[in-house]
């Protein structure tokens, strides 16, 4: 099976621009997570979905951040407008609640975002 | 709130030798999962090993094994016969074991950077 797929792998943008990060979870997984990794704060959970429904978005830093999951195989994380302090690596992860590997989160390769 | 502490920011090991990475955690829960993830320079987060708190037997995966001490809230990772490809950041992570709000959130430690010396 293919792992979690994220695009783009790298994104460089200017302050004030809209940024959209994309994620395709592992087929059959019913949970999807968005994390952010920075040197200062480490790995932080931003939001997670269960069966395409957002369950906990308390980690979303500001209203500039939004996430959607229109179907079981696709999710987006949008930042509008972007700011230099949003520069980080953004990870998507997915997990399943039954079957092999239950409760283990599998991560995508990450998107390195640089906001100039 | 749960916290995960990795007290060794950096470690080094000679190739073919054994190294142990430390992790402690704080929780009031009795049911939970613990994980070690590896992050090489490619930055991909790779699952190394997982442990269910209700299992007394320590998990093993080939050259990787854990020493899980539930009473001490300690979860160390032992890497045997270290290889150059083991060089990476290693993160310890905790997850609550029962359903409810926040139950699927992973709480990560700050990581330990492991260098392997040829």
Tens of pLDDT along A62-105?
899 999 999 999 999 999 999 999 999 999 999 987 766 677 89
Q: Is B113 on the interface with A (CB under 8 A)?
A: no
When CB atoms are compared, the residue of A48, A91, A109 closest to B104 is: A48
CA angle B40–B58–A105, rounded 5-degree value: 45
Whether the Cβ atoms of residue A78 and residue A66 lie closer than 8 Å to each other: yes
Q: How many angstroms separate the CA atoms of B13 and B83, rounded?
A: 9
Strands of the sheet with A5-7, listed across from one edge = A5-7, A19-24, A74-79, A65-71
Tens of pLDDT along B36-56?
999 999 888 999 999 999 888
| pLDDT at B99 > cutoff 80 | no
| CB–CB contact A105 B106 (8 Å) | yes
Using 50, 70 and 90 to split pLDDT, how confident is the model at B29?
confident
Give all strands (DSSP E) within chain B, no chain letters: 3-5, 10-14, 19-21, 24-26, 32-39, 46-52, 60-61, 64-69, 74-79, 88-96, 107-108, 112-117
Using 50, 70 and 90 to split pLDDT, how confident is the model at B98?
low
d(CA A96, nearest CA chain B) in Å: 11
| CB–CB contact B45 A93 (8 Å) | yes
Nearest CA in chain B to A108: B44
pLDDT of residue B104: 74
Q: How many angstroms separate the CA atoms of B4 and B90, rounded?
A: 13
Q: Is B45 on the interface with A (CB under 8 A)?
A: yes
Tell me if residue A79 falls in helix, strand or coil. Answer: strand
| CB–CB contact B43 A112 (8 Å) | yes
When CB atoms are compared, the residue of A42, A45, A107 closest to B105 is: A45
Q: How many angstroms separate the CA atoms of B37 and B30, rounded?
A: 22
**Whole-number mean pLDDT of chain A?**
93
> Of B86, B47, B49, B87, which is closest to residue B68 (Cα–Cα)?
B49
Q: Is B105 on the interface with A (CB under 8 A)?
A: yes
């Amino acid at each position: 099976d293919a792992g979690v797929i994220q695009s783009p792998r790298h994104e460089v943008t200017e302050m004030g621009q809209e940024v959209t990060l994309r994620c395709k979870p592992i087929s059959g997984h019913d949970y999807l997570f968005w994390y952010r990794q920075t040197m200062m704060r480490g790995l932080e959970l931003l939001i997670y979905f269960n069966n395409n429904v957002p369950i906990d978005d308390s980690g979303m830093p500001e209203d500039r951040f939004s996430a959607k999951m229109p179907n079981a195989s696709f999710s987006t994380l949008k930042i509008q407008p972007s700011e230099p302090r949003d520069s980080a690596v953004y990870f998507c992860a997915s997990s399943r609640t039954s079957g092999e590997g239950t409760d283990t989160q599998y991560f995508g390769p990450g998107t390195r975002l640089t906001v100039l | 709130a749960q916290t995960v502490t990795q007290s060794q920011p950096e470690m080094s090991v000679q190739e073919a030798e054994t190294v142990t990475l430390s992790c402690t955690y704080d929780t009031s829960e009795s049911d939970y999962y613990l994980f070690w993830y590896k992050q090489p320079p490619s930055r991909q987060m790779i699952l190394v090993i997982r442990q269910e708190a209700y299992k007394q037997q320590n998990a093993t995966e080939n050259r990787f094994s854990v020493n899980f001490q539930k009473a001490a809230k300690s979860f160390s990772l032992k890497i045997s016969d270290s290889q150059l490809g083991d060089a990476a950041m290693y993160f310890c992570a905790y997850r609550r074991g029962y359903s409810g709000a926040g139950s699927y959130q992973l709480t990560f430690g700050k990581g330990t950077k492991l260098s392997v010396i040829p």
